[in-house]
Each structure stands twice: as structure tokens, then as C-alpha cells.
Amino acid sequence: MFLLEQIESSHKKVKSGSDFPKYIKELKELGVLSYETFVTDGHNLFFGEDNYEVKSQNKYSSLIISENSNAFQFKNDLIAHQNGKTDYLTFCNDCAKSGIEKWVVNLIDMTCTYFDKNGKQILMENIHSI
């Protein structure tokens, strides 16, 4: 089973959205099946086989998630992040402003799905790994 330290070592290499595919590849190699990232404080829940679960610490001070989601603004911010124009904390702040509460990465289906505070799916993307 994977350890939080292994995941954090891989995550330290991520400087922008353009580093995401390599990060996903490394998580799969560790045995991570899926994970959830919570925009409020940046903590993650990582899931493996046989109900194995690892929770990370908070990554930053609490952000306030907007009550109203703005899918258009979120998509523009996501594109900027994926093109390496913003760092992780900026992206998380942008998510909070756009009402994104969390995202769920499914490493089996290779999807990343973003949800608002009401659990409404705002966007699902296919992940292209390297």
C-alpha cells in the first residue's frame, strides 16, 4: 500500500497544471485508485484497494467557497492553470471564487470531476497521462 510520504514526494514536483499528467502516472504506479481534493483547505483523501484510505494534512489556510458556482469563469481559470499560467494556490483560490468545493480524480476511468457546494457536477475531464 502507498504511504502519504510517497504521495507528497510526487506532489512536490507539481508546479502547475502542466505537471499534472506526470503526477497522475506516479500515483497510479503507487496504487492510488482515486482521490478527492477539498478546495476549502487543500486536504486530500487518497483511496486504494480493499478500502485503503490515506488523508493528507491541510495545505493552506481555509478558503471561503462561493455559494454560487460560475462554470464559465472556472473553465477559463482551469485552462490558464493547465497551460502553466497559475500555480496551485492561485488555482485553488480561483476555484473557491467560482464555487468549486472539490474535485475527484478517478485513476481507473482517468477522469477529473469538479463539484460545487451542492454536489452538482460542474465539469468532467478526461485525464491524458504520459
Name the DSSP class of 111. E
The whole-chain average pLDDT of the chain stands at 92
Residue 74 included in any domain = yes
Residue 48 included in any domain = yes
Cell digits for 119?
Answer: 454536489
Q: What is the pTM of this model?
A: 0.89
Residue 9 included in any domain = no
| CATH code of the domain covering residue 84 | 3.30.1810.10
- Residue-wise pLDDT tens digits, 45-104: 999 999 999 999 999 999 999 999 999 999 999 999 888 888 889 999 999 999 999 999
Residue 2 included in any domain = no
Distance of alpha carbon 30 from its chain centroid, rounded? Answer: 17
Residue 86 included in any domain = yes
Render 46-73 in DSSP notation, one character per residue: EE-GGG-EEEPPP-SS--PPPSS--HHH
Q: How many domains does the chain have?
A: 1
For residue 35, give its domain range: 16-126
